[in-house]
Amino acid sequence: MSETPKKQETTEEEAKSDWKNNSYWQEKGEPRQSIEIGFADKKLTILNFGEIPLSSEQQEEIRKVAKDFSKIKGGCVFDIVHFVLIDGNQPINADTGENLNGYGLENDDAIKTKIIRSG
């Protein structure tokens, strides 16, 4: 008789590297809206956890932007970016009281960048 494998605990590093393991997104539950955009062998999934669904105009604009990115270096950005998560929260800067939507703080673990230099 084989043993049932035990569920492994998620480490803090795993939670930071995979949004599905992050407690913030787990607490939100299922997204209200999911949009898949595909090009050749690449796919991008937009998950909207906000209260308001994306309009058809917003969806079309996202598709256009993704299509433009797919033309750059064979769409290599989609080799590392598979999901875009939309959050309905309006975070406020504790120091200034201003809305932080649209801004990524330099030390924000939710935004990962990789600089590629050619030549």
pTM, whole model, 2 decimals? 0.63
Nearest Cα to Cα of residue 50 among 84, 96, 16:
84
pLDDT band at 112 (very low <50, low <70, confident <90, very high): very low
Task: Quickly count: other Cβ atoms within 10 Å of residue 70's Cβ.
Answer: 19
Domain definitions of the chain by residue range: 17-86
Task: Quickly count: other Cβ atoms within 10 Å of residue 54's Cβ.
Answer: 17
C-alpha–C-alpha distance, residues 33 and 47, integer Å: 6
Place of tokens 């935004």: 111
**Tens of pLDDT along 51-108?**
889 999 999 999 999 988 888 888 888 888 888 898 877 777 778 888 776 555 555 5
